[in-house]
């Protein structure tokens, strides 16, 4: 069903026409709305709290939070003030500002696994640096990666193999998430050459139900890394600071050697971090990683303000409370309307897929019905809540979903 004419989209359409001439494919990557059913806006004008306005003035409650970075709500005043103050003094300077040290200290104080921190810009920078540090520290080559897991858009791990050579992946070996036997088999296959296992805190692959890590699986990853003297890399880029401020596997009692962070760390400012333990400190000091903008001081100041506010405000409990209200409300509605919707993963990072909906026909219809009622959802990527999603906004979402289910049923 094409609902593309149900919202005003003239400005969006004009921008897309211009983009088609000067941007390959009109848009690249995960934000290309050609990946979504027709009717989604590509371009946005502004955002505030849990709300988003497109270039045609349509207003949405945003359940994507920029695919994760926005955790305190768009344009959080405390974060914006900290970033603006630093930017006025200097941002991209000839060296870092004091906020770099302050942020590293804050991360080491917050994350029990971490003795040090380094910074970059994107999650892919952080995961790639973790792998480089693990190889440097162990003097080995092989990296075990869960099949289907996303660790970034660079040749060793990109989900597309277009433009990637076999050599780029020569030392990457796959296992099945939450499957201890397959992990053990993969480790045996590379015995003597295992540098690292890289794993996300839970299975949040797109286009499928999410799966929490079983405590047995998390412990097996730790045991296998210990017995092979390899690094356990926790890729907390997507889940980081939404499940547990101390690191997403801390509640399971499993500590990584290296962790990759980005997305929510600075409430939308571009920043990534690698944190690590004493064992990998020397390797981290020996590798050569850098980028022209990696020391940008405004993003560091934004991250300090973000982490302080997350710690001071009971942020995780607040996102969980809103997430539970959303999950329970939607479950009741789906049942009442007789629609087979399955909700998986942590409530603050919900995935909603219809059972047996392999081609997302029901999912696409649902998100379009919701979109035209002022709520921005995604048909097959996990969504994200922020602390700005209060009960009133969740209830607004539930009004839209109820009407959407009704239209579908």
Ligand X SMILES: Cc1ncc(COP(=O)(O)O)c(C=O)c1O
Binding residues (CB under 6 A) for ligand X: these are 122-124, 127, 150-152, 200, 235, 237-238, 262
**Residue (354 or 376) nearer to ligand X, CB:** 376
**Residue (125 or 402) nearer to ligand X, CB:** 125
Least distance between ligand X and beta carbon 152 (Å)? 4
Instruction: Say which DSSP state 322 is in.
Output: H
Instruction: State the CB neighbour count (10 A cutoff) for residue 323.
Output: 23
**Residue (157 or 321) nearer to ligand X, CB:** 157
**Residue (238 or 365) nearer to ligand X, CB:** 238
User: What distance in Å separates the CA atoms of residue 40 and residue 298, rounded to the nearest whole number?
Assistant: 32
Least distance between ligand X and beta carbon 272 (Å)? 6
Least distance between ligand X and beta carbon 260 (Å)? 7
Q: Which residue is nearest to ligand X (CB)?
A: 123
User: What distance in Å separates the CA atoms of residue 191 and residue 140, rounded to the nearest whole number?
Assistant: 10
3-state class (DSSP) for residue 350: coil
Least distance between ligand X and beta carbon 224 (Å)? 20
**Residue (145 or 225) nearer to ligand X, CB:** 145
Least distance between ligand X and beta carbon 262 (Å)? 5
Provide the pairing of β-strand 351-354 with 375-376: unpaired
3-state class (DSSP) for residue 49: strand
Q: How many residues does the chain have?
A: 409
User: What distance in Å separates the CA atoms of residue 202 and residue 261, rounded to the nearest whole number?
Assistant: 15
Both tokens assigned to 306: 């973000």
User: What distance in Å separates the CA atoms of residue 400 and residue 337, rounded to the nearest whole number?
Assistant: 14
Least distance between ligand X and beta carbon 63 (Å)? 16
The secondary element (H helix, E strand) that includes residue 261 is strand 258-261
Spatial contact of 168 and 198, defined as CB atoms under 8 Å apart:
no
**Residue (51 or 151) nearer to ligand X, CB:** 151
């Amino acid at each position: 069903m094409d609902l593309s004419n149900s919202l005003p989209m003239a400005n969006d359409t004009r921008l897309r026409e211009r983009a088609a001439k000067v941007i390959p494919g009109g848009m690249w990557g995960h934000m290309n709305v050609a990946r979504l059913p027709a009717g989604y806006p590509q371009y946005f004008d502004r955002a505030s709290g849990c709300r988003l306005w497109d270039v045609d003035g349509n207003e949405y409650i945003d359940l994507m939070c920029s695919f994760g970075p926005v955790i305190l709500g768009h344009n959080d005043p405390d974060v914006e003030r900290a970033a603006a103050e630093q930017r006025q003094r200097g941002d991209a300077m000839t060296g870092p500002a004091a906020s770099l040290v302050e942020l590293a200290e804050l991360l080491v104080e917050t994350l029990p696994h971490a003795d040090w921190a380094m910074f970059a810009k994107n999650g892919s920078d952080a995961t790639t640096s973790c792998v480089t540090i693990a190889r440097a520290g162990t003097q080995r080559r092989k990296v075990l990666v869960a099949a289907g897991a996303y660790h970034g858009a660079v040749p060793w791990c990109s989900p597309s193999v277009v433009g990637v050579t076999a050599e780029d992946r020569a030392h990457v070996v796959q296992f099945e998430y939450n499957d201890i036997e397959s992990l053990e088999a993969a480790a045996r296959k590379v015995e003597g050459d295992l540098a690292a296992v890289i794993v996300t805190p839970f299975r949040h692959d797109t286009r499928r139900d999410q799966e929490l890590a079983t405590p047995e699986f998390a412990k097996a990853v730790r045991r296998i890394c210990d017995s092979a003297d390899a690094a356990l890399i926790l890729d907390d880029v997507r889940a980081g600071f939404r499940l547990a401020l101390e690191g997403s596997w801390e509640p399971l009692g499993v500590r990584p050697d290296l962790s990759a962070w980005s997305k929510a760390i600075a409430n939308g400012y571009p920043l990534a971090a690698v944190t690590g333990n004493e064992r990998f400190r020397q390797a981290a000091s020996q590798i050569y990683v850098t980028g022209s903008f990696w020391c940008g001081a405004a993003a560091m100041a934004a991250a300090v303000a973000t982490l302080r506010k997350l710690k001071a405000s009971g942020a995780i409990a607040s996102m969980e409370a809103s997430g539970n209200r959303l999950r329970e409300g939607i479950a009741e509605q789906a049942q009442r309307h007789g629609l087979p919707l399955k909700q998986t993963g942590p409530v603050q990072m919900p995935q909603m897929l219809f059972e047996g909906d392999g081609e997302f026909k029901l999912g696409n219809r649902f998100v379009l019905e919701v979109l035209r009622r002022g709520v921005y959802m995604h048909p097959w990527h996990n969504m994200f809540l922020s602390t700005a999603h209060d009960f009133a906004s969740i209830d607004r979402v539930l009004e839209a979903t109820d009407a959407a289910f009704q239209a579908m049923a």
